[in-house]
Amino acid sequence: MEAFALLRPNLARAGRTWLVCVGLLPAAVCASTTAERAAPISGDSAPSTSTTVPAGQPVHIELIIESRTTDPATAGFAEVVKETLTDARGWQQAGFVFVFAESAPYRVVLAEGREVDQMCRPYDVSGKYSCQNGPVVALNADRWRYATPQWTGNLETYRRMLVNHEVGHLLGQHHPRRQCPKRGEPAPVMAQQSTELDGCLPNPWPLPWEIACAARHEEPIAPGYENSPRSTCGP
């Protein structure tokens, strides 16, 4: 997530089973895992899903991309998401293969702040920020249109950072232990660059050490609510 979130209290939990497919050669193996989800909240709140995958194996992430906006400033959203996730500089280097399909189990959604708030619960994103919550990556349309005052790069680069950051959470990656490990150098893509660069340079792509951490495939895919976890890998 771009900003620290607050847990809303008194959420009942119910079991749910999700099917997650891990691409293997020569065939695909699907692992069933028991997950939990928050009790229903009005709107599009996301159930938690999580599974770990074998290190060294390509992991196929099937996505559907949705834009719930119609203004010219958000036109071309799907194309930017696809270009970003299939770029050789991105998470593909860590052994993730992105597949785009209408029946995909994971979603990348662009929506207005109020709707993003609903999809992000129990995270509190205050109508301003974006999140990953279970199988859903919810991107705030105003951030897509305007970026943030703290961002010193251009808008196109911000959008790619936003996609890589929140999809990084879908892949199980966390905020780094240090927001800016070394001043004057590119920020980690998993740093909260929307709120503070802290002396680092704006950066839309995973750093080599972030790729190395993600390539271990030790973290659950599509995690549910987590109370501000920090990466245990990297500087």
Average pLDDT over residues 157-180: 97
Is 164 within the bounds of a domain? yes
> What are the pLDDT digits (tens) for 18-47?
333 333 222 232 232 222 222 223 334 444
Given a contact cutoff of 8 angstroms between Cβ atoms, the answer to whether 135 and 172 are in contact is no
Structural domain containing residue 201: 58-214
Question: Alpha-carbon distance 15 to 13, whole Å?
Answer: 7
Is 162 within the bounds of a domain? yes
Percent of the chain with pLDDT strictly greater than 90 = 71
The secondary structure of residue 19, as a DSSP letter, is E
Number of domains in the chain: 1
The secondary structure of residue 90, as a DSSP letter, is S
Question: Alpha-carbon distance 203 to 184, whole Å?
Answer: 12
Is 25 within the bounds of a domain? no
Is 129 within the bounds of a domain? yes
pTM: 0.79
> What are the pLDDT digits (tens) for 43-73?
344 444 444 555 567 899 999 999 999 999 9
Name which of 186, 153, 167, 165 is nearest 100 in CA terms. Answer: 167
User: What are the backbone angles phi and psi of residue 201, rounded to the nearest 5°?
Assistant: -90, 145
Is 12 within the bounds of a domain? no
> What are the pLDDT digits (tens) for 191-234?
999 999 999 999 999 999 999 999 999 999 999 998 888 898 98
The CATH code of the domain that includes 154 is: 3.40.390.10
Is 171 within the bounds of a domain? yes
Alpha-carbon Rg for the chain, nearest whole angstrom, is 17
Name which of 165, 170, 99 is nearest 133 in CA terms. Answer: 170
> What are the pLDDT digits (tens) for 104-130?
999 999 999 999 999 999 999 999 999
Is 125 within the bounds of a domain? yes
Provide the pLDDT for residue 139. Answer: 98
Provide the pLDDT for residue 10. Answer: 31
Is 130 within the bounds of a domain? yes
